Structure 1
Amino acid sequence: MTISNEKREFKKRDAVKDMTSSTLSLHIDAFEKSIESKTDSSCESSIKNSITPLTSAIFEFPRQQNADARAPEVSSFRSSQRLLNPNAESFAEFSDRRISVAKRLRLVSLLNNGESLSSAARILGISITGARYARDRILQTGSVGNRKAASRVSQEYETNRFIEEQLRKHPRIKTKELRLKMADNGVEMSVRQLRFRISSLGYRWRKMKKVQVISKENQQKRLLARAFWEAEGYPFDRYLFVDECTVVLGRRQQFCWVKRGHRVPCQGRVSHGDGFHIYGGISWFGASQLLIWRSKSRMNSAFYCKHNIKDIVVPSQSLFPGGKFELAQDNHRAHISIDTHECLQKLGIRTYDWPPQSPEFNPIEYLWRDMKQFIAEHSPSSLEELKKLIEQFWYTKVTPEYCRTLIRQVIKNIKKSHDGLNHEKDTATEALYQK
């Protein structure tokens, strides 16, 4: 028992000794580095002399003489390192992050005298980010004063009227362009101030919506189709909705300012880039197979009959009970040509005369929108990646329940079209459902 106790005491003394030497070496290394960074020889000698009492009394640390005492905490150790390093550059602590007008004036003076931005910030006791923001704001506004309060901004009727006139005339104008126009008109303000004023006027930067202009003749055809479907109880479970879509690389969306409560203006669609044509169909019972070919190859009647109808439409009969269905397609030239009509008659496939200019009546149009959104989220960089994303969406996302959801949506759109126009993006009200 005596020997084991002696061994235990011996191990405890070794552990204390190791902890003492390791902790002390860290203090000495930090202190010696601070001495080496000191260039003044006189100060160097005095600082080196201060090591002597520290190294001579290495076993006089009160906490380390007691083996039962806890090890020093990390916060205490870091604090001691700062105390042992007097040559380290001290950084200013900012009690108030606001930069006063006096400091802004002095900042301009220092910069004009050739001081760099970092040195000027150090002299003034402010952060470099704050100094950079103050400099840019002074350059944009031409003033070092504080911006006006929100209550006073709404009272500047002339400035607000000029901003609103420009936004109405040029809804796609960027904030920086508008700021330059205001500068030409004698009003100086920063981009941030201008954005605040635009927001206070009720404008928001929104994506432009795309709608189709419908002629009077086609409005009547849409109303006739609506009346027929309403009389039949919207029998959309017997239709195979087919359509083609083009997906290309590098398509971008434009944005514009729109005031709250106003309609979003339309934009023209411009096709560019290389990609794929896609053809497929959906029904109440699920989706058909998918046909993909390069966008450089155009679809004519011969191609449509040879590939689209025989490879996609005919096999889709298995989706319907008894194999009976009607083909619902738009008025593309290849869809309504004489050759296509004869081909469908030979195969015994019935078609429905779809009203022209009615994309919101066809549920597969919503599928194309979701597919393009899915592709945009993954940002393909090559045609191979683009094709994989198309197939992934079609065979994993397009389920029978998904198809039924789209069909229910187009039924709502048909009910909204009380005047033959496209009310797809309007909020449902009683006026929209009038007959």
Structure 2
Amino acid sequence: MSQLNASVRENALGRLQAGQSQSEVARALRVSQSTISRLWHRFQQTGSSAPAPMSGRPRVTTQAQDRYIRVTHLRHRFQSASVTARALPGGRRISVQTVRNRLHTTGLHAYRPLRGNVLTRRHCQARMQWANQHLQWTLANNRRHVVFSDESYFLLQHHDSRRRVYRRQGERYHQQCVDEAPPHGGGGVMVWGAITNTGRSQLVEVPGRLNAQHYVQDILQPHALPLLAAPRAQFQHDNARPHTARLTTNFLAANNVNTLPWPSLSPDLNPIEHAWDELGRRLNARVNAPPNRRQLFQALQQ
């Protein structure tokens, strides 16, 4: 209940005893009706308007401020606790930790956000349509015939946000505690791969910028077509320019390759992303990082 000072409590009780309704008193004093109701109930029970003594340390926020904190962070999920602490109505300054404590009691905790693509309404509709069309797919009848493929880029110096450093207070800028990362990761290697229900393709290094001619001659012809020789085989690749170029589509049509339609900006629907993630984890777990592109590709092959 909001804490009313003694003069306001006496004013409210005087109005109630004079015959005014609780809602009339609440409007006149600009407080909630529930506050007046609890004040009247306590007066009838104890004969006193003084609030009941409270044990322990008094709360620095009211229930209304607690609701404000919760609603604010539900509406603005990326707002920091420090901003909320400064903007809290009521005129009383509270600490950032108090804001965090109030959020924790409502089940709201700070996490690293999931990184995702910027999806337009058209992208979302295409993804939903694709999902509905394949809702009845099963491993036995459909998914086991699909060859899922994709390219991925691995850096020589990968900055892993999950990595932690153990240091003492004041050692933040010690050289041993700094995770040094050259610009753009110091270069890296692009690879192509494909997975099926029964196995995988070779890991293919993509030197330089991938174009349609390179994609057809060095990837599809020697590596993808052998996987697509099985009956009912279906090929999946995304809508990158080398994949949708006329040279590529003509090559796939000439070889009677059945291509799985794919919604744009949907890497999360491709199970090969799990393989890339596992490769990245194993690479980061190595004690000695590969010093050059050649050894990086060899490490990925292992």
- Normalised by the size of structure 1, how large is the TM-score? 0.41
State whether structure 2 residue 141 is matched by structure 1 residue 234.
Answer: yes
User: Is residue 158–residue 284 contact of structure 2 (8 Å, CA) maintained in 1?
Assistant: no
Which structure carries more helix by proportion?
Answer: 1
Aligned 8 A contact 2:153 2:191 in 1: yes
Deviation at 1:246, TM superposition (A): 2.4
Aligned AA (2:277): R
- Give a deviation string over 1:152-192, Cα, whole Å, max 9, x none: 54973143234324423542344445445559953133x44
SS at match of 2:148: strand
Matched with 2:74 is 168
Are residue 284 (structure 1) and residue 225 (structure 2) matched?
A: no
Counterpart amino acid of 1:209? Answer: L
Alpha-carbon distance between aligned partners in 2 of 1:394 and 1:185, rounded to the nearest angstrom:
62
Aligned residue in 1 for 2:276: 368
SS at match of 1:287: coil
Partner letter of residue 275 of structure 1? G
Q: TM-score, normalised by structure 2?
A: 0.56
Aligned in 2, Cα 1:246/1:160: closer, same or farther, shift over 3 Å? same
Is the CA contact 1:225–1:355 (under 8 Å) kept in the aligned structure 2? no
1:335-374 correspondence to structure 2 within 5 Å: 335-346=243-254, 348=255, 350-357=257-264, 358-374=266-282
Aligned mates of 2:99, 2:294 — CA distance in 1: 40
Amino acid at match of 2:106: L
Task: Give the structure with higher Rg (CA).
Answer: 1
Q: Give me the whole-angstrom Cα distance separating, in 1, the residues matched to 2:88 and 2:249.
A: 61
* Other-structure match for 2:129: 220
- Displacement of 1:287 in angstroms is 1.4
What residue number does 1:308 align with? 219
Q: Distance in 2 between matches of 1:394 and 1:180?
A: 53
* Residue identity matched to 2:93: V
Which residue number in structure 2 is paired with residue 244 of structure 1?
A: 151
- Change beyond 3 A, Cα 1:233–1:361: farther
Cα distance change, pair 198–373 in 1 and its aligned pair in 2 (3 A)? farther
**Structure 2: how far apart are the matches of 1:342 and 1:220?**
26
Equivalent residue of 2:141, what SS? Answer: coil
* Counterpart AA for 2:202: Q
Q: Cα offset for 1:332?
A: 2.2
CA-CA distance at 1:275 after TM superposition: 2.9
Alpha-carbon separation, structure 2, partners of 1:298 and 1:209: 28
Q: Which runs of 5+ in 1 are unaligned?
A: 1-147, 255-271, 396-435
> Distance between the aligned counterparts of 2:286 and 2:300, measured in 1?
11
By relative contact order (CA 8 Å, sep 6+), the higher-ranking structure is 2
Residue number in structure 1 paired with 2:7: none
Cα distance in structure 1, aligned partners of 2:261 and 2:237: 6
Return the letter of the residue paired with 1:367.
A
CA distance in 1, matches of 2:86, 2:233: 61
Whole-angstrom distance in 2 between the partners of 1:391 and 1:200: 50
CA distance in 2, matches of 1:380, 1:154: 52
Alpha-carbon displacement from aligned partner over 1:201-233 (angstroms, at most 9, x marks no partner): 321112323456434355334433445x45x95
Q: Distance in 2 between matches of 1:198 and 1:386?
A: 49
What is aligned with 2:6? none
What is the rounded CA distance, in whole Å, between the counterparts of 1:221 and 1:245 in structure 2?
Answer: 23
Deviation at 1:345, TM superposition (A): 4.5
Identify which of 90, 94, 105 aligns with 1:188: 94
Measured against aligned partners, the alpha-carbon deviations of 1:85-139 in whole angstroms (never above 9, x if no partner) come to: xxxxxxxxxxxxxxxxxxxxxxxxxxxxxxxxxxxxxxxxxxxxxxxxxxxxxxx
Q: Secondary structure of the equivalent of 1:206?
A: coil
Please give the alpha-carbon distance, in whole angstroms, between the structure 2 residues aligned to 1:380 and 1:174.
37
CA gap 1:149/1:380 in 2 versus in 1, 3 angstroms: farther
C-alpha separation between the residues in 1 aligned to 2:279 and 2:107?
Answer: 33
For this pair of structures, how many residues does the alignment match? 221
The superposition leaves residues 236-255 of structure 1 with CA deviations (integer Å, 9 ceiling, x where unpaired) of 3333211112234455669x
Rounded Cα–Cα distance in structure 2 between residues aligned with 1:184 and 1:215: 42
Distance 1:174 1:371, change over 3 A: farther
Tell me the distance in 1 between the aligned counterparts of 2:260 and 2:247.
16
Instruction: Output the CA distance in 1 between the equivalents of 2:194 and 2:94.
Output: 57
Deviation for aligned residue 1:301: 0.5
> Of 249, 255, 275, which aligns to 2:188?
275
Q: Is the contact between residue 85 and residue 99 of structure 2 (CA under 8 Å) also seen in structure 1?
A: yes
Letter aligned with residue 299 of structure 1: L
Give 1:276's aligned amino acid. V
- Provide closer, same or farther for how the CA distance between residues 149 and 179 of structure 1 changes in structure 2, counting only shifts above 3 A: farther
Conserved 8 A contact 2:235-2:260: no
Q: State the alpha-carbon separation in 2 of the partners of residues 243 and 333 from structure 1.
A: 13
Shift of 1:290: 0.6
Q: Distance in 1 between matches of 2:286 and 2:71?
A: 39
Q: Could you say if the C-alpha distance between residues 154 and 291 of structure 1 is closer, same or farther in structure 2, counting changes exceeding 3 Å? A: farther
The residue that corresponds to 2:105 in the other structure is 200
Question: C-alpha displacement at 1:316, in angstroms?
Answer: 4.3
Displacement after TM superposition at 1:315 (Å): 5.1
Amino acid at match of 1:291: V
Distance in 2 between residues matched to 1:208 and 1:234, nearest whole Å: 36
Q: CA contact under 8 A between 2:148 and 2:195: conserved in structure 1? A: yes
2:191–2:206 Cα contact (<8 Å) kept: yes
